[in-house]
Amino acid sequence: MSEGEWNLADFEIGKRIGEGKFGKVYLAREKQSGYVVALKVIFKAKLDKYRYHAQIRREIEIQRRLNHPNVLRLFAWFHDEERVFLVLEYAARGELYELLNSLSHFSEKRAATYIASLARTLAYCHEKHVIHRDIKPENLLLDIEGRLKLADFGWAVQSNAKRHTMCGTMDYLAPEMLEKRAHDHAVDNWTLGILCYEFLYGAPPFEAADENDTKRRIVQVDLKFPSTHCVSVEAKDLIRKLLVKDSSKRLSIQEILKHPWILRNADPSGSCSE
């Protein structure tokens, strides 16, 4: 599947399953094969308004080349006068964000399983010099078997060199981004620490009512573990070793996967049946 081979007439369009800044996502079926996909519809007028054309091209270019069980597949793309269409893998269980909201926080087994899956995914992406730069629960989806799928490569970049663009979502930004210093793949490792904390405590660690307070807490690595949740010493150790201001001293992906908390709790299958 590639650009130019498809058009909207090839698909039966079903219900809307998502909505974003630039358009909507629909459940769809490819008529010839009967294959069910998610069809992301992006309005060109919105791309014009936010000057996002280069970014959407980069997102397509990066995501179509990635082939990993925990990366949401981009099968194809096409466009008409008003819209760009991305033909994506359908993740039947939806956003991890919704699950976290409904449960308020995850068990250590579930949290470790997701962190291990994400670490393996990032090992693959970083090997290909792809930095995601916007990992958060809204960009993590679950397939029918409960396996994690990393989605939305809108802020991703493929580069060997250090980058300087500040991008992503405030609660998940690494200190080097906020201080406008050069950054590399270690910003994704920082986000794993943020997510690990959020999975276990139900909220990101540096969340504050005021955005400037959030920035200050991130830059100072003002990390506190509330006594309201019973979280193991090993889990806290992993979080502390990821949320390190000096990016060169954060745990590597390989070290995350060998950490005692991951080895003790993560389900090797990557799916959570709890």
Per the annotation, the verdict on 134 as an active-site residue is yes
Q: How far is CA 161 from CA 62, 129, 130, 182, in A?
A: 16, 9, 11, 9
Residue burial 153-172, b: 16+ Cβ < 10 Å; e: rest: bbbbbeeeeebeeebbbebb
* Active-site entry in 10, 48, 80, 134: 134
Task: Name the token pair of 97.
Answer: 């964000």
Task: Name the token pair of 66.
Answer: 């990635």
Tell me the angle at which helices 233-242 and 186-201 cross, rounded to the nearest 10 degrees: 150
Count of C-beta atoms within a 10 Å radius of residue 48: 10
The residue type of 107 is S
Count of C-beta atoms within a 10 Å radius of residue 140: 25
Longest dimension (CA), the chain: 56
Task: Name the token pair of 96.
Answer: 């991890």
Catalytic residue positions, numbered: 134
